[in-house]
Amino acid sequence: MNKSQFIFKAIDVVFEKSQNPFNFDNIYCVKDIAYSDDDKKFTCGDFYFDPMILKDGKKHPIILNIHGGGFVMGDKQYRKTLSEFYASKGYFVYNINHRLPPATDIFGCIKDSINAANHINKLAEEYSIDLDKIVITGDSSGAYLASYIAAVKFNPEIADKVNVPKVDIDIAALLLHSGPYNMEAMVMEELPLGLVPELASMLVGYQLKEDLSDIKDYKYFEYMSPINFVNDNWCPTFISWSDTDVVCPNQGRPMAETLMKHCPKVATFYAEGIMNGHCFHLSIKKEKSMQCLENSIKFCESVFEEKVTK
C-alpha cells in the first residue's frame, strides 16, 4: 500500500462512524450483485430498497451511487447509511464498487461505472424500476465518475475514442458532490502531503515525472476532464461543494457555472466553514449534510414531475 492508498483508506476508517452512524428502519439489501465479469470482487454492487415498494404495483426510481476514495481506495460499505437514506425516500439504490488503480487506470474505472449503469436495464427485469427515472450520484472521485457517465451519454463519440462502453440508459438527473471535474486543473493543485504526482501516475497507469510535465503525453489526456464535455444535451444536475475543500479545491463552483450555461435545470448547494469541507454531505447527522441530501431528493422529484407534465 503506497502513501496515497494509505491516506484514503485512513479517511474511510476514521470517518466511518460519522458517515454510517445508524441504520434506517425496514430497508432490505441484496449484497454483491455483479454487473461485469471483470474481477467480480470489485465489479458488483449492493441493492437497497424498502420492501413496501414491491407491493404497490408501481414502478419506482433508482439511484446509482458511486463511492469516493481518490480513485485508488474506497468501498461501497462506507456508503451504507447514505444508500439507506435514499432507499427510505422510495428509491431503489444500486451502491457499487469498481476496480481501483493500479489494477486498472482511470478509464478502467469509467468503464466499470458505465457497465454498472447499463446493468440497471438487467435489474429492471426483476424489480419494478422506472427506467425513465434513473439518477446517478457520487462523491469525490465517485462524482467524477458519475459526471463522466453523463459525458459519454451526451457525447457518444467519446466511447470509441477512450475504449469504454456506450451508455445504454437514459439519465434523468445527476447528483454530484465534492468532485474533481477538471483534471488539468487538479494536477496543478498542491494537495496535502504531496499526493498529486503519485495519484496522477496511478490514474494513467505508469510513472510520470515528479513535476507532471509529461502528463499531457498520456494518450487520453484531452478526454480526462468531464467539464469539457458539458453540452446542451446534458441532463438536469444537482451539484454541491465547499470552498474549504482541500481534497478537490476550486472544482465545484467552475463546474456549476459550466452546467448553468448548458443544462435545462441546475440546483446548487454550497457549504461554508472548515467543518463543512470535502464530502460534508456524508456526515449525515449534521444539519448541512441533511439539508444537502434533502434538497437533492427534492430536486429529483421536481425533475420527475416536469418529465410527467411534458
pLDDT by residue (tens digit) across 186-217?
A: 988 777 667 899 999 999 999 999 989 999 99
pLDDT at 192: 67
Instruction: Please enumerate, as own/partner, the contacts of 301-305 that have beta carbons within 8 Å and a separation of 24 or more.
Output: 302/265, 303/172, 303/173, 303/236, 303/265, 304/61, 304/133, 304/172
pLDDT at 174: 98
Which residue type occupies 21? P
Tell me the average pLDDT across 249-254.
95
pLDDT band at 60 (very low <50, low <70, confident <90, very high): very high
3-class secondary structure per residue, 283-300: CCCCHHHHHHHHHHHHHH
pLDDT at 309 over 90: no
Q: Residue holding cell 468531464?
A: 226
What's the domain range around 10? Answer: 3-309
pLDDT digits (tens, 9 = 90+) for 211-242: 899 999 999 999 999 999 999 999 999 999 99
pLDDT digits (tens, 9 = 90+) for 73-128: 999 999 999 999 999 999 999 999 999 999 999 999 999 999 999 999 999 999 99
Mean per-residue pLDDT over the chain, rounded: 94
Q: Looking at residue 77, what DSSP letter applies?
A: G
Instruction: Give the phi and the psi of residue 153 in degrees, each rounded to 5.
Output: -60, -45
Higher pLDDT, 191 or 244: 244
pLDDT at 39 over 80: no
Tell me the average pLDDT across 267-280.
92
pLDDT at 42 over 90: yes
Q: Which of 78-82, 155-159, 281-285 has the lowest mean pLDDT?
A: 281-285
Instruction: Give the phi and the psi of residue 76 in degrees, each rounded to 5.
Output: -60, -25
Number of structural domains the chain divides into: 1
Report yes or no on whether pTM surpasses 0.75. yes
pLDDT at 41: 79
pLDDT at 273: 86
d(CA 5, CA 3): 6
The CATH number of the domain holding residue 52 is: 3.40.50.1820
Q: Residue holding cell 472548515?
A: 274
Q: Name, of 20-29, 142-151, 189-198, 238-247, the range with top average pLDDT.
A: 142-151
pLDDT band at 260 (very low <50, low <70, confident <90, very high): very high
